[in-house]
Amino acid sequence: MEEEKLKRVVCVEDEPEMIDLIRLILGRRGFEVIGADGGKKGLEAIREQRPDLVLLDLMMPDMDGWEVYQQLKANKNTRDIPVIVVTAKAQSIDKVLGLHIAKVDDYISKPFSPQELLDSVDQVLTKHAAQGSVN
């Protein structure tokens, strides 16, 4: 039986304040949050850390979030990691496209409340755990 370890979250985000906020919110719930400044660093961190969950900003200067997402899903070592997209683009068309075409696990738009973030993370991790135990 696997011992209970901290759930690890990689937060790919180009705003340090947002990483700090997410670390604060999730840290109180016992998550280990690894911040990655931008898409390229995010991909490296995800490959090295193998997190339980990825929080992915879409709007980043070096590599946008969709590109990061596509690279994650194309790699057999990272394709099963659930992804929550975090973006300031709150247009509903983006939400529909993101969730249905890309099979993103969930979507939250900035600004979000701590409770919205926690609810989304709990829901995605619970769903992912249930899928994993079906095999």
36-88 confidence digits (pLDDT tens)? 999 999 999 999 999 999 999 988 888 888 889 999 999 999 999 999 988 77
18-31 confidence digits (pLDDT tens)? 999 999 999 999 99
Tell me which residue range forms the domain holding 97: 7-132
Q: Which helix (H) or strand (E) holds 16?
A: helix 16-27
| CA 73/CA 113 separation, integer angstroms | 28
| CA 100/CA 77 separation, integer angstroms | 22
Query: pLDDT category, 91, cuts 50, 70, 90?
Result: low
Which of 33, 102, 89 is CA-nearest to residue 57? 89
pTM: 0.88
Indicate whether 99 belongs to any domain.
Answer: yes
Indicate whether 1 belongs to any domain.
Answer: no
Indicate whether 2 belongs to any domain.
Answer: no
CATH number where 121 lies: 3.40.50.2300
Q: How many CA atoms are closer than 13 Å to the CA of 108, on its beta-carbon side?
A: 20
| Number of domains comprising the chain | 1
Taking phi over 0 as left and psi of -120 to 50 as alpha, with beta for the rest, 65 belongs to alpha
Indicate whether 31 belongs to any domain.
Answer: yes
Indicate whether 38 belongs to any domain.
Answer: yes
Mean pLDDT of 121-132: 91
Indicate whether 85 belongs to any domain.
Answer: yes
